[in-house]
A and B are shown apart, each in its own frame.
Chain A
Amino acid sequence: MERHFERELEELKERLLWMGSLAERAVHQAVQGLLGADEAVARRVLEEEAAINEMQIEIDDRVVRLLALQQLMAADLRFVLAVSRINADLERIGDQGVNIAESALRLVRHPQVKPYVDLPRLGELAEEMVRDALNAVVRRDLELAKNVLARDDQVDNLRDQIFRELLTYMMENSSVVFSAFELILVAKNLERIGDHATNIAEDVIYIVAGRDVRHPALDRR
Chain B
Amino acid sequence: MATSEATAKNRLIEAVESRRGKFSPAADVTGPVKLRADNLRAWYGESQALEGITLSILDRRITAVIGPSGCGKTTFIRCMNRMHEFVPGARVAGQVFLDSEDIYAPGVNPVRVRQRVGMVFQKANPFPTMSIRDNVLAGFRLQRLPISDGDALVEKALRQAALWEEVRDVLDRPGTSLSGGQQQRLCIARALALEPEVLLMDEPASALDPASTAKIEELMFELKKEYTILIVTHNMQQAARVSDFTAFLLTGALVEFSPTAKLFTTPADPRTEAYITGRFG
Contacts and interface: CB of A to CB of B under 8 A. Distances in A.
Contact of A68 (B20, B215, B217, B265): B265
Contacts of B16: 18, 21-22, 25
A3 B214 contact: yes
A68 B266 CA distance: 10
Majority secondary structure, A binding face: helix
Interface in A61-106: 64-65, 68-71
Which bucket holds chain A's interface residue count?
20 to 34
A140 B37 CA distance: 50
A15 interface: yes
Contacts of B264: 68-69
B267 to A, nearest CB: 11
A178 interface: no
Contacts of A195: none
B19 A18 contact: yes
A14 B8 CA distance: 20
Nearest to A55: B23
Interface in A7-36: 11, 14-15, 17-18, 21-22, 24-25, 28
A65 B221 contact: no
B240 to A, nearest CB: 4
Interface in B72-110: none
A2 to B, nearest CB: 8
Nearest to B12: A25
Contact of B265 (A3, A4, A28, A64): A64
Interface of A: 1, 3-5, 11, 14-15, 17-18, 21-22, 24-25, 28, 64-65, 68-71, 131
Interface of B: 8-9, 12-13, 15-16, 19-20, 22-23, 214-215, 217-218, 221, 237, 240-241, 260-261, 264-265
